[in-house]
Amino acid sequence: MASGKYAKEMDALKEHLAKHHLKFTRQRELILNAFLRQEHITAEAMYHQLAKTDPHLGLATIYRTLNLFCDAGIAQARHFGSQTQYDNVSHKGHHDHLICTGCGKIVEFENCEIEKLQEEVAARNGFSIQTHRLELYGLCTRCRN
């Protein structure tokens, strides 16, 4: 049992590592702690952020580790524009996105009723939801003219 601020996710990671014969490294711990402070981040952004304290951390390692987090259910990759955003699944207030197809504007929102209906749909099909992704595409007020 790990202790500390992010004990739950640390345990989830360790369990995933053990199950797949992977190893717990300084870099993985480092990147996990940095990642969990964010709601969502790109590999590039994390690279620059960590470079301040760990200048020798490679970009490839960041990518590999964030993808590992996705496998472990801690992160979720989302393609946004030309880059990949890694979302923090455990972040409270999971939010969804309204995306304007005209100007690219993004509005975040949260809706409990929708989430409840999602649970119902999942239950009807024998699924237990771990996470979800909802993106609404349309035109914002300004672009509708």
Partner DNA sequence: TTGAAATTGATAAGCCCTCTCAAAATTCTA
Partner DNA sequence: TAGAATTTTGAGAGGGCTTATCAATTTCAA
**Residues near DNA (CB under 7 A):** 17-18, 21-28, 42-44, 54, 56-61, 63-65, 67, 82-84
At closest approach, how far in Å is the CB of 56 from DNA? 5
51 binds, among a second copy, DNA, none (CB under 5 to 8 A by kind): none
Nearer to a second copy, 57 or 66 (CB): 66
11 binds, among a second copy, DNA, none (CB under 5 to 8 A by kind): none
Q: What angle do CA 66, 71, 74 make, to 5 degrees?
A: 65
Distance (Å, whole) CA 47 – CA 63: 9
17 binds, among DNA, a second copy, none (CB under 5 to 8 A by kind): DNA
Nearer to DNA, 45 or 134 (CB): 45
What string of H, E and C letters represents the secondary structure of 42-97? Answer: EHHHHHHHHHCCCCCCCHHHHHHHHHHHHHHCCEEEEEECCEEEEEECCCCCCCEE
At closest approach, how far in Å is the CB of 53 from a second copy? 31
